[in-house]
Structures are given as C-alpha cells and as structure tokens.
C-alpha cells in the first residue's frame, strides 16, 4: 500500500484573531451542514484515485474544528475510513481552541478515532491573549488539558507564540514554564508573523503595537530551545518540540514531501507529482470550486522543495536520498557554498545528512537561497 495523508480544513471559528490571515469565518453556524456535505462529496470524488493507498495520518485544521458539532468530525473520519484503508497506527489530529471544548464533544471525537489534540494556547498571559483576540483565558488552557486527559487523549500539543507586541522575555519564560508544567507531549513555538491586511498589521503600521526586533526574537527562540530541551522536549523542526515518540507524523509528511490530499476550502495538496489547491473563499468552495493552480513539479522544483523543507528539520537533508531522487551528489556544484556555511557555523555534514546548526536555523531561508543559487 502507498501511504497518504489527508488534511481537512474546517474554516469556522468563534472569532477572528487579530493576527490571522487563514481562511476562517466566524458566526457562520448556519453553513456548517452545507459545508460538510460539500467536504464529503469532495472526499468521495477521490475514490478512484486512491485505489492502492493507505491513510497514515489525518489532520483537522482550521479555523477551529472543536467549535463544530462532534458528529461532523466523526462522520468525516467514518467516510474516509470507508473510502480507503487506515494504517493500524494512523495518527488523527484535531486542532482546537481551549475555549471551545466540552467533555461530551471530546469523548465523541475520541471514540471516532481522533487520537491527537492540538490546542492553540498561544500565551499564558491574559493581557496578551486579549490583544491577540483569543476567546480563551490562561486558566482555560489548563482546564482544556484536564478535559482532554479525562476523555482519553494521551497525545497533546500546545501552540505557543512569541515576539508578540507587549511581550518581554519574562512573559515568554512564564508561558514556557506553565506549558511545561502541564506535561503535554508536544509543543510548537511560533514567532508572530504580521500578515498584511490583518488588524495586527494595522496596529503595527499605526504604531499602536510594537513588535520586538530581530535580536529579541532570536533571544526568545533560543530561550525556548534551551528551556524545552531541559524539560525533555527534543527540537525536531524549527518551531516544533516533542517528547520521544510524539513528533507530529502528519507535519513530517509535509516536510518530507510525502503525498497528501487537502480537502475543504483553502486546502493544499501534493499528489501524483502535482501541487494544487482549493479556492480560499468559503463561498467559492461551496459554489463548487476545486483543484486550482495545478503545478506539475519538475526536477528543479522538487530539488528546491526538498532543500527548503528538509533543512527545517534538525535531522536535515538525507544525502543518500538526494542521490537516489536526483541522480547526483548534493555537494556537486555547491562545494564553495557548503564550505562557507560550515566555516561560519551555520551548517554541518555528518552521518550522511546535511543539517543546519541552531545558528543556521535562525537564518534558514537565507541558507536555502544561497545553496540554490550555486
């Protein structure tokens, strides 16, 4: 069987966060049923193409999947299971907001097969949470973890954000400490990106909000690396940390360029050597828009993606795998750039992998550009 991952985009949320530029729509409860029926029809349309495939991971992202009725999630898992076989250890992740959880909802999703919960905690500072437009409080994060444990979840992630306006190192350390104290299996720590067109971008442009500078951002990232390592969380990707055995297998499919299908509005896919996506807009998706922007990836495209994605992981780029995929040594034509990067302490070649050092991960995009220009 050929492994494949499925991503389901659930675009509904209780409120739009100040920094969010994802396809998410608050106050649209009246369209839940119509949307899920469209989602299920799209899933069914892939039946013939999925012959010989086996689902190894499923991921419900958003938006806020925990906002909708659990029956929609359970029905989606059931329809996927009827369409193609699931691996015995299939990982099924559901994203959620701590302010949208309830025992019966969690228990229903767990019975349906959801075995990994990813909660958007972001901060343990109530003032920062309000400034971000989050609907939950710091206290509700701990309550959500307790509810998830009671429902039988043994694989929990918390998303955290740093480099927020008004956030200093003391507040970031407090968030890290309180996240660690909850004993979750996985932590993601993302630097705020101010996206054009968001309320946060308007605040920054007006001077109402001031984001930390690059030095402060890097210092916060280094603090996360050190504190989480001391607590037993291994850093396996630029922004992701896990206890042994709890790395997110779905996200690894993205970084390792495995095949995946994205279903729902704004969902992206890599399937059959092509990248494509559904329309971003909810209305366009409900009107039947599907599979736009087909790009058949050539050799150069695949090389660029492999380099860009593999160097996000601390494991690095598999040199033997590169040779098998592209018929040449990775170092070919890159000798000078590799020597410069190693001398500067940004990268190393060891045990059959090219990987970035902690310093190199801070400038990963620049490293990739330099290596692709060789």
Where do the domains of the chain lie, and which CATH numbers do they carry?
Answer: 2-254 (3.20.20.70), 299-374 (1.10.10.920)
Q: What per-residue confidence (pLDDT) applies to 21? A: 84
In order, the DSSP letters of 303-370 are HHHHHHHHTTBTT-EEHHHHHHHHSS-TTTTTHHHHHHHHHTTSEEEETTEEEE-HHHHTTHHHHHHH
Please tell me the distance from the alpha carbon of residue 64 to that of residue 61, in angstroms, as a whole number.
Answer: 7
Q: What would the mean pLDDT of 364-371 be, rounded to a whole number?
A: 93
pLDDT cut 70: percent of the chain above it: 100
Length of the chain, please?
374
CA 321 to each of CA 240, 309, 330, 342: distance values in angstroms, whole numbers, following the listed order: 23, 14, 10, 21
Answer for the pair 105, 70: CB distance below 8 angstroms, yes or no. Answer: yes
* Cα atoms found within 13 Å of the Cα of residue 49, Cβ hemisphere only: 11
pTM over 0.85? The answer is yes
CA 266 to each of CA 111, 175, 332: distance values in angstroms, whole numbers, following the listed order: 28, 31, 38
**Does pLDDT of 168 surpass 70?**
yes
Answer for the pair 209, 203: CB distance below 8 angstroms, yes or no. Answer: yes
What tens digit of pLDDT does each residue of 344-353 get?
999 999 999 9
82 alpha carbon, distance to own chain's centre: 26
In the numeric block, which tokens belong to residue 104? Answer: 């019966």
pLDDT category, 175, cuts 50, 70, 90? very high
**Does pLDDT of 98 surpass 90?**
yes
Q: What per-residue confidence (pLDDT) applies to 374? A: 58
Please tell me the distance from the alpha carbon of residue 103 to that of residue 365, in angstroms, as a whole number.
Answer: 42
């Amino acid at each position: 069987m050929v492994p494949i991952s499925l991503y389901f985009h659930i675009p509904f949320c209780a409120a739009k966060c100040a920094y969010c530029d994802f396809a998410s729509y608050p106050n649209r409860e009246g369209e839940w049923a119509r949307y899920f029926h469209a989602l299920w029809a799209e899933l069914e349309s892939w039946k013939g193409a999925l012959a010989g495939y086996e689902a190894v991971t499923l991921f419900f992202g958003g938006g806020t999947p925990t906002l909708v009725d659990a029956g929609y999630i359970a029905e989606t898992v059931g329809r996927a299971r009827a369409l193609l076989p699931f691996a015995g250890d299939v990982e099924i992740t559901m994203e959620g907001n701590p302010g949208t959880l309830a025992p019966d909802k969690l228990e229903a999703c767990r019975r349906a097969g959801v075995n990994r919960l990813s909660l958007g905690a972001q901060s343990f500072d109530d003032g920062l949470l309000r400034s971000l437009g989050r609907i939950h409080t710091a206290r509700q994060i701990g309550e959500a973890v307790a509810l998830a444990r009671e429902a039988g979840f043994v694989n929990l992630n918390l998303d955290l954000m740093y480099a927020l306006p008004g956030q200093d190192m003391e507040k970031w350390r407090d968030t890290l400490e309180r996240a660690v104290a909850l004993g979750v299996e996985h932590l993601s720590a993302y630097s705020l990106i101010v996206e054009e067109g968001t309320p946060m971008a308007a605040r920054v442009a007006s001077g109402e909000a001031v984001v930390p500078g690059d030095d402060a951002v890097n210092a916060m990232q280094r603090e996360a690396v050190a504190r989480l390592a001391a607590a037993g969380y291994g850093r396996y990707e630029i922004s992701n940390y896990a206890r042994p055995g709890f790395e997110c297998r779905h996200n690894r499919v993205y970084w390792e360029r495995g095949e995946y299908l994205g279903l729902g509005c704004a969902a992206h896919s890599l399937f059959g050597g092509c990248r494509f996506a559904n329309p971003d807009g909810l209305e366009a998706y409900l009107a039947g828009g599907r599979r736009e922007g087909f790009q058949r990836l050539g050799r150069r495209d695949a090389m660029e993606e492999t380099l860009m994605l593999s160097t996000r992981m601390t494991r690095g780029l598999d040199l033997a795998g590169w040779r098998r995929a592209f018929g040449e040594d990775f170092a070919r034509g890159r000798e000078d750039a590799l020597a410069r990067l190693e001398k500067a302490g940004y990268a190393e070649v060891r045990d059959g992998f090219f990987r970035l050092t902690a310093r190199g991960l801070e400038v990963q995009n620049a490293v990739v550009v330099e290596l692709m220009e060789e």
